[in-house]
Structure 1
Amino acid sequence: MVGLTEYCPVYAPFFGALGCTSAIVFTCLGASYGTAKSGVGISAMSVLRPDLMMKCVVPVIMAGIIAIYGLVVAVLISGSLTATMPLYTGFVQLGAGLSVGLAGLAAGFAVGIVGDAGVRGTAQQPRLFVGMILILIFAEVLGLYGLIVALIMNTNATNGTAGVCG
């Protein structure tokens, strides 16, 4: 017979906590890079065209949304952490955190690069604004895909483990 500690070792919550940490840290890294890179482009563009500054703040807003994805998953994971939990649950929570975190990191990089180039281009040719917004939406949706996968994984983290740890 398999012992209780084989299914529920004392280090199982560590993996859930690591997933929680990964979700918020990586999405915030992506959001901060996207904000900084887009902010530099906005600052450079505002020197020549200050009238377009508020219109071109869209990339910074979209970069900030990426951090919210990580926050949602981190709160959900942290809410289900317990002192005794199955190792399976900890691993799934780690996967969920890495899913949203790394997708958010990639999306933040994409938003930052597109935002920087897009607002500089919009300063020279205002008709580029709509194209920039479309590209930003496609960059942002990468983080949304990570959020969706993380929510599905976190929902399934307790499937088949009811009553395993006592």
Structure 2
Amino acid sequence: MGLRRVVLVALMGVMRPELVMKSIVPMVMAGVLGIYGLVISVIISTDINPKAKSHISRLVLLVVLLVSRLEWPLELANAQQPKLFVEKILILIFAEALSL
């Protein structure tokens, strides 16, 4: 996901240099998703229901994969139509909210 993100930022710099800073927002959101994972791991380590452990970890993995798959088409759409920035951020926020 890291190299792919760098390629997206570089592509945005070539296509639309004025949107480079906006294309870094999903990287920040991925960091927030990592913090969600840390919080969930602390909750799991405090002896909650064993059946819930596997479901929570699968859900977090699913959301991480979903967000990483959404990055590429959303960034390309943002490069072609900058007015889609708010919609892109809303899609990423709702995808990350699933992990809560």
CA RMSD in angstroms comes to: 2.3
Displacement of 1:38 after TM fit? 4.3
Work out which of the residue numbers 83, 88, 91 in structure 2 matches 1:132: 88
User: Which protein shows a greater Rg?
Assistant: 1
Matched residue, 1:142: 98
Residue 97 and residue 66 in structure 1: after superposition, are their counterparts in 2 closer, same or farther (change >3 A)? farther
**Structure 1: unaligned runs, 5 residues or longer:** 1-32, 82-88, 145-166
Displacement of 1:129 after TM fit? 0.8
Matched residue, 1:113: 69
Residue 37 and residue 138 in structure 1: after superposition, are their counterparts in 2 closer, same or farther (change >3 A)? farther
**Structure 2: unaligned runs, 5 residues or longer:** none
Displacement of 1:39 after TM fit? 4.3
Displacement of 1:40 after TM fit? 3.6
Q: TM-score, normalised by structure 1?
A: 0.51
Instruction: Tell me the percent identity.
Output: 41
Q: Deviations over 1:114-159 (max 9, x none)?
A: 2221111111111111111111122111111xxxxxxxxxxxxxxx
Q: Deviations over 1:69-123 (max 9, x none)?
A: 2211222343x46xxxxxxx6xx23x33323221111111221222221111111
Residue 106 and residue 64 in structure 1: after superposition, are their counterparts in 2 closer, same or farther (change >3 A)? same
Specify the code of the residue in structure 2 equivalent to 1:56.
S
* Match runs of 1:20-99 below 5 Å: 33=1, 37-78=4-45, 80=46, 92-93=49-50, 95-99=51-55
Task: Measure the CA separation in 2 of the matches of 1:119 and 1:63.
Answer: 14
